[in-house]
Chain A
Amino acid sequence: MTNEGQSLQGCGFVTPALLWTIAFFVVPFLVMGAMSLATLEGRTLIWGVSLSNYAEIAEKAYIWRAFLVSLEITLTVTVVSVLLAYPLAWIIAFRVPAEWQRLALLLAVLPFWTSYVVRSYAWLLVLAREGMINQAMLGIGLISEPITLANTRFATVTGFVHFFVMLLTLTIYANLIQLSPNYRRAAMDLGASAFQTFRYVILPLTLPGVVTGAFLTFVLCIGDYVTPQILGGNSELTVPQVIMVQLGRRADFPLASALAIALMAIVTLAYIFSARWLRLDRL
């Protein structure tokens, strides 16, 4: 159904979006790549092809440690969030009566709509020495004096997990609901217990969706600046925090660019690793 004229017209429709993406996404990316190969002498930027920034990443302890910290935190958050969200999505999809499911799901993700910055701040309140958790534990006599929960890696992970459990509940629920109910019926009919039905039928069928959600979690988590900055304290930094330090104090754009490219490389590796199960269209 297409002829020359129509093809041209099609091109016309796509062009604006394409131009925008190229101008404001692809070009900045390329420039950033070039910038990562530049060097800074005092205040002056010198374009060139130098790997000194990348060398700095590998050499400076506070930088490559940040990569380790980011990876540790991100992997922990991804695993914990999936493990907590899957049962929640399952319960809403298969235990909550059909008429109430939409409401239950909406309630489960409502806190999504607090501002991201505000939500991290709220966790700071909850985890502070004078905050809810410490006060509650003191009150019931679990501890004799407040413990430091805020400004720790625990706080960062908690803040992240809180956000991603909501996100993953949504995506995993969407996946579960799409399965024909007859799969479960057939499995049970053939003698499978609830656990066996899950292990041999439901889990394999929802795995692509779970991996997609996990990948999304990984990408969003590793690149996030706000949560570690508010909740993590200054004892250890993540890569986004290190990037912002380069921008703020030192205005070291070349190093910041190199760090950004390195972060992208990690995400690309994660994509390649999970590509076997990944279905972005199943999101």
Chain B
Amino acid sequence: MTAPVSIRSLNHWFGGFHALKNIELDIRSGEYITLLGPSGCGKTTLLSVLGGFITPTQGTVSIGGRDMTRVAPAKRPTTTMFQDYALFPHMNLRDNVSFGLRMAGVDTRTRHARAGAMLELVGLADAALKRPHELSGGQRQRVALARALAVEPDVLLLDEPLGALDLKLRRAMQDELKSIQRQLGTTFVHVTHDQEEAMAIADQIVVMNAGSIEDQGPPARVYRDPATLFSADFMGEMNHIPAAASPDGVVTPFGALPQRVDGPKAVACIRPDAIKLGDGPVQIGGAKIKEAAFFGTYIRAHLVPDVAPDLILVAHLPPGDLPEPGARMTLSAEPQAFHVYAAGD
């Protein structure tokens, strides 16, 4: 089952603290969206509002076209997967997964069958009679997922579900989550602080900071063309190049750029992988290697450009022989690889 979600003019205060500021968000039916941001940005608060655990001070939440702003969690077509899983320790896996069905009054045989099907979906079919404490962290996480999906919610809310797992397991679970979501078609709202995770899974990324939405869009767009400086920095490493506004755009130490900004000062940002060796439209010019490290598919190098010796640029060079500190390179870039924002953004 699936449904679209619509959030309008959402504001929430905790006492005097303005936790959510004028949130406007539309989530399409069957979409996998991630709420991405640093700790304290409000993403978990927003998720709690969606789940019905917090009633917002102002604004509305509609799910499937119906106003659900003040509806209790039990009555909403959402289920939440909690960060600590919250599996009931005194029940076996089958009873855990079928709990929601039991509360809805489904008879024993049907709900056991359904629980079995859900456990099979997450690959734990033969552990149905085990207790949560007998499982590993990764396995418990899958049970929590099965339990949340067993009641066929329209929207599944995931609160940093992969935080407690090690890297390899995390990657595997990301693929699984994506595949399950595609299979079921349920709308997934996934909270994370890991931008790589967001990019791997999401159809849409919502970047949040200090209670507001900074940027929103498909991963590729948010990565390549971030709307704000915060979003640019959060999505991946960025070089910051000071620039000054001019009648035709901005002026950087490496030349003029066509992008315009409001205000006299600006910051031109470019990703390390967008800096190329050799000559190009925006000529960065000669630069001296300060240090370099081998990263497998590229060499991460810190370079000091001749025309701006107090800048340090980070660039991803093609993997080859590791250059010595002091070695000289010529660097350039395309003008559209730069993202320019007003300074103090």
* Chain A residues at the B interface, C-beta cutoff of 8 Å: 180, 182-183, 185-193, 196, 200-201, 204-205
B74 touches A183 (CB 8 A): no
Q: How far is the CA of A185 from the CA of B79 in the complex (A)?
A: 10
User: B residues 170-215 with Cβ under 8 Å of A?
Assistant: none
Q: How far is the CA of A243 from the CA of B318 in the complex (A)?
A: 93
B103 touches A196 (CB 8 A): yes
> How near does chain B come to A199, taking the closest CB pair, in angstroms?
11
Our count of residue pairs bridging A and B at CB distance below 8 angstroms stands at 57
Q: How far is the CA of A180 from the CA of B87 in the complex (A)?
A: 10
Q: How far is the CA of A201 from the CA of B87 in the complex (A)?
A: 10
A-B pairs with beta carbons under 8 Å apart, 20 shown? A182-B82, A183-B86, A185-B80, A186-B86, A186-B147, A187-B103, A188-B72, A189-B73, A189-B74, A189-B79, A189-B80, A190-B74, A190-B79, A190-B151, A191-B100, A191-B151, A192-B74, A192-B103, A205-B88, A205-B89
The dominant DSSP class at the A interface is: helix
A191 touches B103 (CB 8 A): yes
Q: How far is the CA of A205 from the CA of B88 in the complex (A)?
A: 9
A193 touches B86 (CB 8 A): no
B51 in the interface (beta carbon within 8 A): yes
| Given A196-B103, A204-B90: A188 in contact with B74 (beta carbons within 8 A) | yes
Candidates A182, A196, A200, A204; contact of B86 at CB < 8 Å = A182
* Chain B residues at the A interface, C-beta cutoff of 8 Å: 51-53, 72-74, 78-80, 82, 84, 86, 88-90, 99-100, 102-104, 147-148, 151
> How near does chain A come to B143, taking the closest CB pair, in angstroms?
12
Q: How far is the CA of A200 from the CA of B82 in the complex (A)?
A: 19
| Given A185-B73, A190-B151: A205 in contact with B90 (beta carbons within 8 A) | yes
Candidates A186, A191, A205; contact of B82 at CB < 8 Å = A186
Residues of A with C-beta under 8 A to B89: 205
Residues of B with C-beta under 8 A to A200: 99, 102
| Given A190-B147, A191-B100, A196-B103: A201 in contact with B88 (beta carbons within 8 A) | yes
Q: How far is the CA of A189 from the CA of B52 in the complex (A)?
A: 9
Residues of B with C-beta under 8 A to A205: 88-90
- Return the chain B residue nearest A191 by Cβ: B103
Residues of B with C-beta under 8 A to A196: 103
Most central of B79, B86, B89, B90 by chain A CB within 10 Å: B86
Q: How far is the CA of A204 from the CA of B90 in the complex (A)?
A: 7
Q: How far is the CA of A200 from the CA of B103 in the complex (A)?
A: 10
Residues of B with C-beta under 8 A to A186: 80, 82, 86, 88, 147
| Given A188-B74, A190-B100: A180 in contact with B84 (beta carbons within 8 A) | yes
Candidates B74, B78, B82, B100; contact of A193 at CB < 8 Å = B74
Q: How far is the CA of A205 from the CA of B133 in the complex (A)?
A: 14
- Return the chain B residue nearest A205 by Cβ: B90
> How near does chain A come to B163, taking the closest CB pair, in angstroms?
14
Residues of B with C-beta under 8 A to A193: 74, 103
Q: How far is the CA of A205 from the CA of B90 in the complex (A)?
A: 7
Residues of A with C-beta under 8 A to B74: 188-193
Residues of B with C-beta under 8 A to A182: 82, 84, 86
B86 touches A180 (CB 8 A): yes
